[in-house]
Amino acid sequence: MLMLVMSVALASAEEEGGTTAAATGDQAGCIAGYKPATDVAVHSKIDLDIKDIETEMSEGTPEGFLAAAKLYESGKNSINEDKSIRTIKGFGVKSDEPLGKLYTDYPWDPHALVAAALAGKDDTTYGPFAKGSIANKPDARSQIVKKTIKFQIVQLYAVHEIESALAKYAKTGETTTAAAHAWDEFWAFYAGSLEAGNNNGNGPYINAEKRGTYFQTTGTVGNGGVSLVNEKLLRVTQAGRDLTLAAGNLEKLQDAAKCIRAQIKVPVIQGCLQYAYKTDVSSTFEPDDESNVLPNAARKAEMWAFCSAALPFLHDVDPTAAKTVRAEADFTTDDKMPSFKNVLGAFTAKNLNAMGITCKDIGFGNSLKIFVGITCNDGAMSNPYADSSKCADFEAPNDGCDKAGASSSSSSVMSSLLFSLLLSICAYSFM
């Protein structure tokens, strides 16, 4: 009897801990709180390539950067629909889509920046990478590579899947399942396979979590996260998934896309502002971490990774403001440290609203020392493809995805009961 109970208990424990629960801590089949309608697990593993690239660069050796470049160019972990290996280098900027068009109109090519940073020298497309003395430092190069890959290249491609879903849904004769699959791929690429919701992954998702904590743009996300950006994106993506599976929802899906396009801009703008403040020697941001010591290559590289991500959006609404930010942020041209005042002055309420986002989205009005004495009063939204106000029109369905790290499955309950029974039997046996 004792052996039987032990066998059942151990079998139950092994199943609950190894084969049925997702590696991220979510319930099986969930990706950072999102339940895909289709199988996108292999797509979500693009974050494993990002993690491997970061690992290769971590020692700052020439061999490490060569290995990282090979991963960027050839891929390893994620699979395309045709069973070929997906590559980050193959994530092109789509000039016929709303956000991609802004990048090509500016123009800005994040792949060229990554290529130059991986090589540590000038890239024929990007131009001079190392006019300044700090750009070729290994820690600066690695920051450029990992943040540009995550928060520009992969993030843009994730939003491309929303555009693909809209096109599939609108296409005569196309099944709604195909649209749902593309819609699922947005969240798969955005969150990645390792993300449980609480900022423990390697995908674009983590940027909103990190920036939200600093800018106090936080709340409660059902998956364990805190970022209001991720709360809106998760909720709207969940609602949009269900809309793709029924007819007559194109207008609602277009509104969902406007929310997503708007919110995706928020963390990179926050990052641009945060690191402009962090690298301005007149600021008092984290003085203990040597951010104010000239020159701090890694911090200025991070600023450029964030600001270059935001520049196409800013240029679309105010080319002069974009020129100002670029002059302050581009660390590949000189060693000067930026003026936070000049960078902040470019992101006015008028410009933010023209991008489809609000002062509140960014964190203006919260108790932040970088915004002391600064007012930002929202006006009307004026962007045809991005509108943060549309986010409020959607409610998240109950996906059955537990909060990250929680365990409420029946197998867990059964394991506990069996373990208690085992203890009782053991206690009885030795009485």
Buried b (16+ CB within 10 A) or exposed e, 139-178: bbbbbbbbbbbbbbbbbbbbbbbbbbbbebbeeeeeebeb
List C-alpha distances in Å: 69 to 66, 73, 131, 135. 5, 6, 22, 18
Residue 71 has pLDDT above 60, yes or no: yes
Q: What is the DSSP letter of 203?
A: S
Instruction: Find how far residue 180's CA is from the centre of its chain.
Output: 20
Which of 19-23, 111-115, 206-210 is most confident?
206-210
Question: Worst-scoring range by mean pLDDT, 67-71, 169-173, 313-317, 323-327?
Answer: 169-173
The confidence score (pLDDT) of residue 136 equals: 78
Q: Where are the domains of the chain?
A: 1-26+412-431, 27-84+106-401
Top-confidence residue, 123 or 369: 369
Residue 124 has pLDDT above 60, yes or no: no
Residue 372 has pLDDT above 90, yes or no: no
Tell me the C-alpha distance between 118 and 145, whole Å.
7
Residue 424 has pLDDT above 90, yes or no: no
Q: Give percent of the chain above pLDDT 70.
A: 81
- Record the pTM: 0.86
Residue 18 has pLDDT above 80, yes or no: no
Instruction: Give per-residue pLDDT as tens, 99-123.
Output: 999 999 999 999 999 998 998 875 4
Averaged pLDDT for residues 364-373: 91
User: Considering the chain, what is the average pLDDT of its residues?
Assistant: 85
The confidence score (pLDDT) of residue 129 equals: 60
Averaged pLDDT for residues 332-346: 89
With cut-offs at 50, 70 and 90, classify the pLDDT of residue 259: very high
The confidence score (pLDDT) of residue 164 equals: 97
Q: Are the C-beta atoms of residues 297 and 137 closer than 8 Å to each other?
A: yes
Instruction: Find how far residue 378's CA is from the centre of its chain.
Output: 26
Residue 22 has pLDDT above 50, yes or no: no
Tell me the C-alpha distance between 291 and 171, whole Å.
52
Contacts of 10 (CB under 8 A, 6+ apart): none
The confidence score (pLDDT) of residue 282 equals: 80
The confidence score (pLDDT) of residue 301 equals: 92
The confidence score (pLDDT) of residue 132 equals: 64
> Which residues, in sequence order, are bridge partners of residue 85?
79
With cut-offs at 50, 70 and 90, classify the pLDDT of residue 293: low
Q: Give percent of the chain above pLDDT 90.
A: 69
Tell me the C-alpha distance between 223 and 62, whole Å.
39
Q: Are the C-beta atoms of residues 400 and 245 closer than 8 Å to each other?
A: no
Instruction: Give per-residue pLDDT as tens, 375-408.
Output: 999 999 999 999 999 999 999 898 888 674 433 3
The confidence score (pLDDT) of residue 283 equals: 75
20, HSE (Cβ side, Cα atoms, 13 Å)? 12
